[in-house]
Amino acid sequence: MNENHLTFSIKKKVNSARAGILKLKNGIEVKTPVFMPVGTAASVKAVSQNDIEKIGYKIILANTYHIYLRPGLEIIEKFGGVKKFMSWEGALLTDSGGYQAFSLSEFTKYKDHGVEFKSHLDGSSHLFSPEKVLDIQHILGSDIVMPIDDCAPYPADEKRLKDSLKRTHDWLKESKEIWLEKKYNENQALFGIVQGGVNLKLRKESSQFAAELDLPGYALGGLSVGEKNNEFIEAMAVCDEHLPVEKPRYLMGVGSIPEILNAVYNGIDMMDCVLPTRNARNGQVFTSKGKLNLRNEKIKFSDEPIDKECLCMVCKKYSLGYIRHLHKSKELLAYHLSTYHNLYFMFQFMKNLRESIINDTFEDYRKKWIGIFKAY
Amino acid sequence: MNENHLTFSIKKKVNSARAGILKLKNGIEVKTPVFMPVGTAASVKAVSQNDIEKIGYKIILANTYHIYLRPGLEIIEKFGGVKKFMSWEGALLTDSGGYQAFSLSEFTKYKDHGVEFKSHLDGSSHLFSPEKVLDIQHILGSDIVMPIDDCAPYPADEKRLKDSLKRTHDWLKESKEIWLEKKYNENQALFGIVQGGVNLKLRKESSQFAAELDLPGYALGGLSVGEKNNEFIEAMAVCDEHLPVEKPRYLMGVGSIPEILNAVYNGIDMMDCVLPTRNARNGQVFTSKGKLNLRNEKIKFSDEPIDKECLCMVCKKYSLGYIRHLHKSKELLAYHLSTYHNLYFMFQFMKNLRESIINDTFEDYRKKWIGIFKAY
């Protein structure tokens, strides 16, 4: 298999937690564990590509479903892919779009050959099949691509989970074949998705199935969808045990600070979530003392920054009282400043987390931050 | 009179057009003619203070009415003024709030002692009197302050215009007395407002009245409110003739590129308008070829910048096709990029306009740009 699309090396391992380096095309090196900001429609909401780069991010996620529907593939193809379209010089990971087709559309049907859905924008009918989502992601030009899968809701009975697993596995096998056959493997790394909900037997089976396909990386789906914290952790632990240690593992759509810490503790290298950006727009920011509501009456006179320990340009320049005013007045600058801070905070948090693995202080780090964010 | 708050010097004059320097407190020098971005509620919408500074602006406008109502004076006072509140290191001009009290509120009544109105936010009752708006602007800490006036609508009959003039003049006289009495003149420059609609006799009378009060600067109100272009120009010409040549003149709420050119032609030094920022948010940008609609289907595949001749960071990095997509998808980045470009364009436009006065090519410059933007 051509491995030019991705190499992964682990620099330090503490129990299951790993500090690694993910090398992608064009010399892009991503230090792991990594948090990937979400740029749903080819834009990380409320910040510019320069901002993301300046903060330090080397990889972002975009959503296939959204970009496929708008601006559409004809435009993306003309521009030579999403990265060129949005002038993003870092790396790009895309999901398959299957999850959004299911959650955002009406009239969605899982069929054996794929997911049928109607666009939430104009009601037009579409089919996402294993081949179709790889073809789309090839046009998107993503560095890391996802196969279509069937993510069961929580809770789901064993029948539903088994159906999900069967479909996910059949589609993964087909995806790998298409990926090789169409030579997408020359430029794009396909990850295998593991499902199974919180059924540990099925998680094991799914991990083993995916592992056997020997793919460049693996993704854990169907977690952080409402399950209990111990269920979430146990499911990850089983995957950790049965996935190849030398391949990168990506936990999809996660998450909060405690979830990230527990994920890394259980061998996860990559994560993405809208939490820092969406919360920012809703006036919630992360600080070294926990979360903070920027619309709170209590801070209206405060000339202190969002976080005294933060060195971001927002904390250097603007006061809580001013940012609160911007939120109360629905000024666009409110969303920009809050998002910039949260993304900066997350980047520093992940950087320090990685350092703690390298310095053998990860367990202290994990406990400290779970303590600070426990109420989250 | 203490003149520390403002000095104005004219470097070059071509007929009525002037290239000057406005020196404000803290060593801030503003080259005139100047366009001032509008930061209604202590934020120029969709850009940061760093952006405005980086583009080159040294002075912005904020609206007394909005800031008075939200966040309110208690908060602004605690922060030591609007500039400290918003971390803006340039200069600040505020209007009196009278115009917004009239146009945004319900139940507004012009009385001899001021304007009574109810807040558009919560319906609370307020009075803006000559003294009140100076007291407010003193708390706001503006470098240049405006007296309350009565801006007649267009069209207005002579009776209405005469009432407006009487009230505006009475209030201006009272404002000057308060300004001196309360020693606001030590830190803040009060401008005299000239009204009179498009009645040239009344414009002359108003200019002479204001001139006799010997104030640090003069503002032209009641223009660009729907009158014909020749009426607009003639009214300015009369003011130009009767206002002291050595004092800065500010045309309130103007305007479009042709209006600005005609204003400068008629001796105006300062202008403000929401046009570049509001239009940007609506997807309209200014270019060296005129205005451009960023939602236009025609540009969906375009990998060209907004303006090939523009050196702003938006034009250096982003394509029309991408920015169109951002507008169509209502991404916040759309408003940021478009606003940044328009403010950059306006700054360069004013810089080159000033150069043309200094180089004796203003007439060519004026004709060229009126030609380009005539349809605007």
Specify the pLDDT at position B200.
98
C-alpha pair distances (Å), B239 with each of A109, A174, A238, B202, B249: 72, 79, 82, 10, 9
With cut-offs at 50, 70 and 90, classify the pLDDT of residue B34: very high
Disruptive mutation site among B63, B314, B331, B341 for chain A (greatest number of A CBs within 10 Å): B331
With cut-offs at 50, 70 and 90, classify the pLDDT of residue B1: very low
Average pLDDT over residues B96-123: 88
Specify the pLDDT at position A128.
96
- Preceding omega of A244 cis (within 30 degrees of 0): no
Specify the pLDDT at position A265.
98
Average pLDDT over residues B205-226: 97
With cut-offs at 50, 70 and 90, classify the pLDDT of residue A345: very high
User: In this structure, what token pair is assigned to residue A289?
Assistant: 């003392």
Q: How far is A299 from chain B (nearest CA, A)?
A: 11
Residue B212 has pLDDT above 80, yes or no: yes
B316 close contact with A: CB closer than 8 A:
no
Residue A2 has pLDDT above 60, yes or no: no
Percent of all residues in chain A with a pLDDT value above 70, rounded to a whole number? 98
Q: Pairing mode, if any, of strands A91-94 and A106-111?
A: unpaired
With cut-offs at 50, 70 and 90, classify the pLDDT of residue B39: very high
Distance CA A339, CA A231 (A): 31
Disruptive mutation site among A70, A296, A331 for chain B (greatest number of B CBs within 10 Å): A331
Distance CA B101, CA B127 (A): 9
Cβ contacts of B79 on chain A, cutoff 8 Å = 303, 319, 321-322
In chain B, beta strands by DSSP E: 6-14, 17-24, 29-32, 34-36, 59-62, 91-94, 106-111, 114-118, 125-128, 144-145, 189-194, 217-220, 249-251, 270-272, 284-287, 290-293
pLDDT in tens, A73-98: 999 999 999 999 999 999 999 999 99
Residue A106 has pLDDT above 90, yes or no: no
Q: Find out whether A147 and A190 touch, Cβ atoms under 8 Å.
A: yes
A204 close contact with B: CB closer than 8 A:
no
pLDDT in tens, A139-179: 999 999 999 999 999 999 999 999 999 999 999 999 999 99
With cut-offs at 50, 70 and 90, classify the pLDDT of residue A3: low
What contacts A25, CB < 8 A, 6 or more positions away?
Answer: A4, A5, A91, A143, A187
A121 close contact with B: CB closer than 8 A:
no
Cβ contacts of B68 on chain A, cutoff 8 Å = none
CB contact under 8 A, A332 and B45: yes
Average pLDDT over residues B218-234: 96
- Domains, chain B, in order of start with CATH, read 7-272 (3.20.20.105), 274-376 (no CATH)
* DSSP designation for A115: E
Cβ contacts of A75 on chain B, cutoff 8 Å = 300-301, 321, 325
B280 conformational bin, left if phi > 0, alpha if psi -120 to 50, beta if neither: alpha
Q: Where is pLDDT greater, at B108 or B312?
A: B312
* SS3 category, B300: coil
Q: Find out whether B52 and B59 touch, Cβ atoms under 8 Å.
A: no
Residue B376 has pLDDT above 60, yes or no: no
Least-confidence region, from A25-29, A34-38, A153-157, B368-372 = A25-29
Residue A323 pairs in a beta bridge with none
Specify the pLDDT at position B43.
98
Specify the pLDDT at position A1.
46
CB contact under 8 A, A87 and B317: yes
pLDDT in tens, B289-308: 999 999 999 999 999 999 99
Distance CA B82, CA B16 (A): 34
B79 close contact with A: CB closer than 8 A:
yes
Nearest by CB to residue B322, choosing from A86, A300, A325, is: A86
DSSP line for A88-110: --SEEEE--SHHHHHHH-EEEEE
pLDDT in tens, A208-231: 999 999 999 999 999 999 999 999
Residue B191 has pLDDT above 70, yes or no: yes
Cβ contacts of A333 on chain B, cutoff 8 Å = 43, 45-48
Disruptive mutation site among A306, A332, A337, A338 for chain B (greatest number of B CBs within 10 Å): A332
B85 close contact with A: CB closer than 8 A:
yes
User: In this structure, what token pair is assigned to residue B183?
Assistant: 């020693």
Cβ contacts of B47 on chain A, cutoff 8 Å = 333
Distance CA B307, CA B105 (A): 39
Cβ contacts of B67 on chain A, cutoff 8 Å = none
CB contact under 8 A, A87 and B41: no
Across A262-284, b (16+ Cβ under 10 Å) vs e yields bbbbbbbbbbbbbbbbebbbebb
Average pLDDT over residues B350-356: 98
Give pTM, 2 decimals: 0.97
Specify the pLDDT at position B3.
55
B304 close contact with A: CB closer than 8 A:
no
A322 close contact with B: CB closer than 8 A:
yes
CB contact under 8 A, B85 and A325: yes
Nearest residue on chain B to A89, judged by CA atoms?
Answer: B317
Residue A103 has pLDDT above 90, yes or no: no
- Active-site residue list of A: 95, 272
Nearest by CB to residue B86, choosing from A322, A332, A336, is: A322
Residue A262 has pLDDT above 70, yes or no: yes
With cut-offs at 50, 70 and 90, classify the pLDDT of residue A376: very low
Q: How far is B51 from chain A (nearest CA, A)?
A: 11
Nearest by CB to residue B43, choosing from A48, A313, A326, is: A326
CB contact under 8 A, B325 and A41: yes
CB contact under 8 A, A332 and B331: no
What contacts B99, CB < 8 A, 6 or more positions away?
Answer: B65, B151, B221, B253
Disruptive mutation site among B40, B332, B335 for chain A (greatest number of A CBs within 10 Å): B332
Amino acid letter, A217: G
CB contact under 8 A, B336 and A337: no
Residue B56 has pLDDT above 50, yes or no: yes
Residue A305 has pLDDT above 70, yes or no: yes
Least-confidence region, from A246-250, B100-104, B315-319 = B100-104
Average pLDDT over residues B4-25: 94
CB contact under 8 A, A75 and B50: no
Distance CA A150, CA A206 (A): 12
Distance CA A210, CA A168 (A): 10
Average pLDDT over residues B38-57: 98
Q: How far is B226 from chain A (nearest CA, A)?
A: 29
Order across the sheet with A59-62: list the strands: A34-36, A270-272, A249-251, A217-220, A189-194, A144-145, A91-94, A59-62
What's the burial of A54, exposed, middle or buried (CB within 10 Å: 0-12/13-18/19+)? Answer: middle
Residue A55 has pLDDT above 90, yes or no: yes
Residue A4 has pLDDT above 80, yes or no: no
Distance CA B207, CA A291 (A): 57
Residue closest to A198 by CA, chosen among A149, A242, A241, A161: A161
Cβ contacts of A71 on chain B, cutoff 8 Å = 300, 321, 324-325, 328-329
A230 close contact with B: CB closer than 8 A:
no
CB contact under 8 A, A46 and B300: no
CB contact under 8 A, B325 and A301: no
What integer best gives the mean pLDDT of chain B? 96
